[in-house]
Amino acid sequence: MESSNESSGISGNSGAKRIGAGILLSRLAGLLRESLLRSVLGLGPAADAFTAALRIPNLLQNLLGEGSLSSSFIPVYSKLLSEGKEKEAGDAAGAVASLLIAFTGALTLVGILIARPIAKILTPGFTSEKLDLTADLIKITTAGIGFLVLAAWCLGVLNSHRKFFLSYVAPVIWNAAQIVILLIAINKDWDPARAAKAAAWGLFLGGIIQLLFQFFGVVKLRTKIRFSFSWKNGHVREIIKRFNPTILGRGVVQISAYFDLVLASLLVTGAVAALMSAQVLYILPISLFAMSIAASELPEMSRITDNQHLGTRLNQGIKQTSFLMLLASVIYVTIGDQIIGVIFQWGSFDRDDSIVVAATLAAYSLGIPAVGISRIYQSALYADGDTKTPAFSATLRVIISLSLGFLMMFPLDRLFISNSALEKVPGSITGTWGPLSESLRSLPDNPHLGAVGLAIGSAVAAWVEMIFLARKTNKEITQGVSSYSPIVKLLPATISALIVSIIARWLLSGSNEFVNCLLCIPAATLTYIAVSSKNGVRESLDLVEGLKRSYKKF
C-alpha cells in the first residue's frame, strides 16, 4: 500500500506541474488576447456586446465540457484503465463522444437560429444597436465553442492516460487565432464593431484547430476507442448517472453567470466588459494552481479505494492550494491596479478604466482562496462518487452571490472614476436601488463601479460554499480532521505580505505601473515565503529548499 500511495503521489504531483505549465502558457496567451481586445474595444458598447455574446457558447462549454465531463467521465474511465479493461474503457469513451457530438450539434444549431431572442433575454438593458451586434456575434461564437466542447472529451481521455500538458496547452491555439485577427484589426484601424465580429470569427477558427490538435493527441495513444451510440452500456450509464447531478451544479453556476449578465446590462455601459476583464486575471491563479492540482488529483483519487488515503491526498491538496491562493489574493488586492495598467492600459483603455477593473478584481480576489480550496473538495467528492453535494453547494453559492450582488450593484453604479478620482452621480447614493436613466447608462463620460457590487457578492458566496463543502467532506472522508488549519497557519504570512505590499506601494507612489509591479510583487512574495517558512509551513520550506538546490547547481 505504501508504494502504491507513493507512486500515485508522485504521478499526481508531476501531473499538477504539467497541467500548471500548460495552463500558464494558455493563460498568458489569454491575457495577450484580452489586452488586445481592450485596446481595440475599451469598455465601450462593442466590448459589452462581445462579452455578452460569449455567454451562450460558454454555457455549452461549461455544462457539457471540461468541468462536467471530467468529473463524471474521468473517474469511470480511469478506473477501467487501472483494472486493465481497455476494451470496455474504449467502448465507454466512444459512446460518450458520439452522444456528445449529437447533443452539442443540436444545441449549437438552436443557439444560432434563435440568437436574437437569446440576446434580448440575456441583455434586457442593452440598446437596440448594441442588441443587434450581440445577436450577430452569438451566431458566430456559439458555433466556435461547440468545437471546444468536443475538445473537452479529448481532454478527459488524455488526462486519464496522464497526458496532462497537451490538454491544457491546447487553448494557446484558440487564443492565437483571435490574437492574429486582433493584430490585423489594430493595423487596419477597424472600428470596434467590425473588430468584435472579426474576433468572433477568430474564436470560431481557433475552436476547430484546437479540437484537431487534441484529437490527434488521442489518436497517438492508440486506444481501443470505438464510436457508437451504446448508451445502454453499463459504464456509459454510470457516467450519465454521475453526469446528471454534475451538470445540475454546473447549470446552476451558469445560470448565475447569466443573471450576472442580465444585472450588468442594467448598469452603465462598460460594466459587462469590466467584469470580463477582471475575471481574466481573477481566474488566472485559480486555473494555474487550484485547477491544476484538482485536475491532476481527480484521476489519482478515483483509483483510491480507502477513505484514509483519500483524506491524506485531500489534505495535501488543500495545503498546496491555500499556500498559493492567499498570496494571489494579497497581490491582487494591493497591486491589482498596477498589474491591470501594465496589461490593459493602452489604446482605448485609459487610467480610469484601469481603476474600475482593479476595484472589481480586488472584490473578486477576496474569494480566491475559497474558490481554490472548493475545487479540491469537489475533486475528492467526485472521486468518492458523490456528485450531489457539489451541485447543492453550487446552488447555495449562486443564491447568495446574486442576492448580495443585486443589493450592492445599483448604489455602487452611482459612483464613477473621473481623472483617477472617485465621484458620484448627483443625488442620493443610499436608498436608490434602481438603474440609472438610459441616457446616463448608454454613453457615459466615465466608467462606473456597479460591477464591483456583483464581484463582492461572488466573493462572499465563495466562502459560504467552501465552509459547506469542508463540513460535508470532513464528515464523510476525513472523519472530523479540521481542514481550516492550513489557512490559519498562513494568516501571519498573509498579513505580513499585505503590510509590506502597502508600504512598498506608498514608497513607490511616484513610479510607473511597471516599476511598481517589478518591486512590489517580489517584496510581498518574499515576505510571505519568509514568514510562512518561519512558521513551519511545509510548502514554503519545500520551496526554499528547492531554490537552494537550484542555486547550488548553478
The vertex-413 CA angle with 407 and 415, nearest 5°, equals 125
pLDDT at 316 over 60: yes
Burial class (CB in 10 A: 0-12, 13-18, 19+), 283: middle
And the C-alpha cell for 456?
A: 463582492
Which residues are CB-contacts of 162 (< 8 A; sequence separation ≥ 6)?
Answer: 11, 15, 299
Average pLDDT of the segment spanning 194-210: 91
User: Last residue of some domain: 439, 454, 483?
Assistant: 483
60-81: string of b/e by CB count within 10 Å (b at 16+)?
bbbbbbbbbbbbbbbbbbbbbb
Q: How far is CA 421 from CA 418, 453, 483, in A?
A: 5, 19, 42
Q: How confident is the model at residue 463 (pLDDT cuts 50, 70, 90)?
A: very high
> In this structure, are 112 and 232 located in the same domain?
yes
Average pLDDT, the chain: 82
> In this structure, are 476 and 493 located in the same domain?
no
Which of 144-158, 163-177, 484-498 shows the highest mean pLDDT?
484-498
pLDDT for 59-87, tens place per residue? 666 666 565 666 677 778 778 887 788 88
> In this structure, are 388 and 526 located in the same domain?
no
> In this structure, are 494 and 460 located in the same domain?
no
Q: How confident is the model at residue 133 (pLDDT cuts 50, 70, 90)?
A: very high
pLDDT of residue 344: 85
Question: What does the chain come to in residues?
Answer: 554
Average pLDDT of the segment spanning 48-67: 72
Residue, of 187 and 288, whose pLDDT is higher = 187
| Of residues 148, 424, 473, 90, the one with CA closest to residue 307 | 473
Which residues are CB-contacts of 257 (< 8 A; sequence separation ≥ 6)?
Answer: 55, 58, 59
Q: In total, how many domains does the chain have?
A: 2
The answer to whether the beta carbons of residues 382 and 294 sit under 8 Å apart is no
pLDDT of residue 35: 86
User: Last residue of some domain: 465, 483, 501?
Assistant: 483
Average pLDDT of the segment spanning 542-548: 81
Q: How confident is the model at residue 441 (pLDDT cuts 50, 70, 90)?
A: confident
Query: In 3-state terms, what secondary structure has residue 350?
Result: coil
**Phi–psi pair at 416, nearest 5 degrees:** -145, 165
Which residues are CB-contacts of 3 (< 8 A; sequence separation ≥ 6)?
Answer: none
| Of residues 10, 70, 15, 68, the one with CA closest to residue 292 | 15
pLDDT at 3 over 60: no
In angstroms, the CA 472 to CA 12 distance is 24
> In this structure, are 418 and 546 located in the same domain?
no
| Domain that residue 503 falls in | 489-554
> In this structure, are 124 and 244 located in the same domain?
yes
Q: How far is CA 327 from CA 25, 252, 289, 540, in A?
A: 21, 29, 12, 12
pLDDT of residue 30: 84
Residue, of 12 and 320, whose pLDDT is higher = 320
> In this structure, are 276 and 381 located in the same domain?
yes
3-class DSSP string for 48-73: HHHHHHCHHHHHHHHHHCHHHHHHHH
pLDDT of residue 442: 74
> In this structure, are 178 and 280 located in the same domain?
yes
Average pLDDT of the segment spanning 99-114: 85
Q: How confident is the model at residue 221 (pLDDT cuts 50, 70, 90)?
A: confident
Reported as type and span, the H/E element at residue 142 is helix 128-160
> In this structure, are 494 and 473 located in the same domain?
no
pLDDT of residue 6: 39
pLDDT of residue 355: 94
In angstroms, the CA 444 to CA 412 distance is 15
And the C-alpha cell for 526?
A: 518574499
Residue, of 446 and 451, whose pLDDT is higher = 451
pLDDT at 292 over 80: no
pLDDT of residue 56: 65
| Of residues 101, 99, 93, 100, the one with CA closest to residue 224 | 93
pLDDT of residue 13: 53
Which residues are CB-contacts of 34 (< 8 A; sequence separation ≥ 6)?
Answer: 276, 277, 280, 343, 344
In angstroms, the CA 264 to CA 108 distance is 25
β-partners of residue 418 are 421
User: Last residue of some domain: 464, 483, 502?
Assistant: 483
Average pLDDT of the segment spanning 386-405: 88
> In this structure, are 230 and 376 located in the same domain?
yes
DSSP tag of 287: I
> In this structure, are 272 and 391 located in the same domain?
yes
> In this structure, are 421 and 545 located in the same domain?
no
Reported as type and span, the H/E element at residue 417 is strand 415-418
| Of residues 348, 324, 95, the one with CA closest to residue 228 | 95
In angstroms, the CA 3 to CA 69 distance is 30
In angstroms, the CA 438 to CA 194 distance is 25
